[in-house]
Amino acid sequence: MTNTTESRNPRTLNLDELGTEEFLTVMNDEDRRVPAAVAEALPEIALAVDLIAERMRSGGRLIYLGAGTSGRLGVLDAAECPPTFGTDPGEVIGLLAGGEGAMFRAVEGAEDSASLGADDLRGINLTLDDVVVGIAASGGTPYVIGGLDHARGIGAGTVSLTCNRGAPVSDHADVAIEVDNGPEVLTGSTRLKAGTSQKLVLNMLSTATMVRLGKVYGNLMVDVKATNIKLRDRVIRIVRAATDCSADEAKAALDQADNHAKTAIVMILCGVDAPTARERLATADGFVRSAITRQ
């Protein structure tokens, strides 16, 4: 394995001599390489999405497992799923080496323990219906490898996400996603291009999975939870966009639908009451498009 995440970038050998704008230009140029690197991994990302969606349809969970920046990005993506897609907090979970405290302060040595990764998965009662996504920029983090080995041992789905080709962690997962961004601007600082690419991939994994699970209608977040004023206004806009109704009609339907956009949309488009809309959605496995077209 060529460890590109730790290699020196020949374009930035004189980083400390560059003027501010010149430095930022070089950094921006390097960042432009990230989406192209992610694009090369799209086939593997698609396989991972299909695996996650299949297991979650059977009642399984999506579990991110990582250390340092990689783990924090997993925690971030997991935290965004309940407000965005209306998932239960226990459906998408982020596990970080060293526990919750490591989100804000490095816990030295935690990522070096393979047994700790397995222990953390045991702590959430991992089952064979779950999928574990092990995130490791370098691709050799013992915490992640130990967790993936435990997951495979009980039959859970496994995905690895790394930023090195031929990384050790890739041999420990059902689906291996490798995104080679090249050396970092600041040697070894994987919170930069590696972190950006990981964030892009995690965006894809969670968003595409939720689309496959019926939590999106068109390009609208129809399972979003109206937990504050901003989101309440967003839900009204979502219902209006989906039905071409007035603001008053959207508000009235949402009041009857307990502020659930999906239910309100089906009510308006099908001319039915809230209980009937909920029944249609249940029959359609939560897919709005199927609920409004069924006879």
> Would you please indicate which residues are annotated as catalytic (active-site) residues?
80, 111
What CA–CA distance (Å, rounded) separates 158 from 264?
A: 37
Strand order in the sheet with 62-66: 92-96, 62-66, 131-136, 157-162, 175-178
